[in-house]
Amino acid sequence: MATETLTLGKALNTGLRRALENDPKVVIMGEDVGKLGGVFRITDGLQKDFGDRRVIDTPLAESGIIGTAVGLAIRGFRPVCEIQFDGFVYPAYNQIVSQVAKMHYRSRGMLDIPMVIRIPYGGGIGAVEHHSESPEAYFAHTAGLKVVSCGNPQDAYWMIQQAIASDDPIVFLEPKRRYWEKGPVELDGPLSEAYPLHAARVVRPGTDATLLAYGPMVRTCLDAATAAAEDGRELEVVDLRTLSPLDLTAVYESVRRTGRCVVVHEAPSNLGLGAEIAARITEECFYSLESPVLRVTGFDIPYPASRVEEEYLPDLDRVLDGVDRTFGW
């Protein structure tokens, strides 16, 4: 079986290519996805090989991209939409939450909307405003949508294919600052045997406390765990992978083992995923907990100017500070 070292971006590109090969109904659409290969080149070379009817440069209209994809999906296609940056999904928000998410329910199951909405998200690349946001909670809050995020190249390659093959509408969040990070990718094998899309995964086992993360923060938490190990603390890192629905069973198992938990995300804390997770753990694992579930997150402010984003983003030190607090209880 072929294992290759790929960047997360290239892994997504390869996964998209395979999806286009495997199903003639798959179409990719978005702004600049064709000739340019997307502003991050995630669709690089796909239009050249599959033609401009399968890889479609759309007008510059996010609402139009999602709205026309709904029609294509009803007609039997499997559209994969690229939203160029997180901060530009909001013009399409109405279509996503009011149409995409509800079509199946409203039609009492007679219509499927098997579409994937790819969004490069999160900060850390020194971008201007509207290019660094974490909008996951908006979508996770909406019934009818599934929300996933990949944290390494292996998951990127498999999860994008699983998302496209799924009949659910899926918001697929790509941690843009990890696009250039490399890792091994197992390229062969049937999709059904790949690690399930909706399962969380322990990416580093440990005994003293659990770090829960997803997307860009998985790497940060792994680094924090390595640093903590030098101080004699064994942290377990769990990659949630799917944000809606959450794989709470895996979460509870880990927290029951370690007795302490810190949830880490870039998005603001107020009504963020961490709040939900902390509440659930408190409800389910109360007697296993040595201390309250803590959150290390972005602040409740608009994403700040890039010269202060390092202060805004949870980093290794802030994660370790959170860990210290959970032990200080």
Partner 1 sequence: MAKGDPGVTTRGRRAAPRSKPKATAGTGDPELVQLLTPEGERIESAFGPDGTEYRVDFTDDEYRGLYRDLVLVRKLDAEATALQRQGELGLWASLLGQEAAQVGSGRALRPQDMAFPTYREHGVLYCRGIDPIMPLGLFRGVDQGGWDPNEFKFNMYTIVIGAQTLHATGYAMGVAMDGKTGGDEGEAVIAYFGDGATSQGDVNESFVWASVFNAPLVFFCQNNQYAISEPLERQTRVPLYRRAGGFGFPGVRVDGNDVLASYAVTRHALDNARHGQGPSLIEAYTYRMGAHTTSDDPTRYRIASEVESWQAKDPIARMRAFLTKQQIVDESFFAEVDEQARTESVELRERVLAMPDPEPLTMFDHVYPNGSPELDQQREQFAAYLASFEGSAH
Ligand X SMILES: Cc1ncc(C[n+]2csc(CCOP(=O)(O)OP(=O)(O)O)c2C)c(N)n1
Q: Which is nearer to partner 1, 57 or 168 (CB)?
A: 57
Binding-site member from 4, 63, 88, 202 for ligand X (CB under 6 A): 88
Catalytic one of 130, 131, 141, 198: 131
Interface segment toward partner 1; rule CB under 8 A; list 181-189, 198-206, 245-253, 293-301? 293-301
Q: Which is nearer to ligand X, 91 or 205 (CB)?
A: 91
- The interface mask with partner 1, positions 302-321, x = CB under 8 A, is x-xxxxx--xx-----x--x
Residue 30 engages partner 1 in binding (rule: CB under 8 A): no
Residue 21 engages partner 1 in binding (rule: CB under 8 A): no
Q: Which is nearer to ligand X, 40 or 158 (CB)?
A: 40
- 104 is known as an active-site residue: no
Structure tokens at 228: 């903590």
Q: Are 16 and 8 in contact (CB under 8 A)?
A: no
Sign of CA pseudo-dihedral 19, 20, 22, 24: positive
Residue 91 engages ligand X in binding (rule: CB under 6 A): yes
Q: Which is nearer to ligand X, 57 or 253 (CB)?
A: 57
CA–CA dist 288, 254 (Å, integer):
11
52: exposed, middle or buried (C-beta count within 10 Å: 0-12, 13-18, 19+)?
Answer: exposed
In sequence order, what DSSP letters do the residues of 179-247 get, joined into one string?
A: TT-EEEEE--S-GGGSPPTT--EEEE--SSEEEEE-THHHHHHHHHHHHHHHTT--EEEEE--EEETB-
Q: Catalytic residue numbers? A: 131
Binding site for ligand X (CB under 6 A): 31, 60, 62, 84, 88, 91
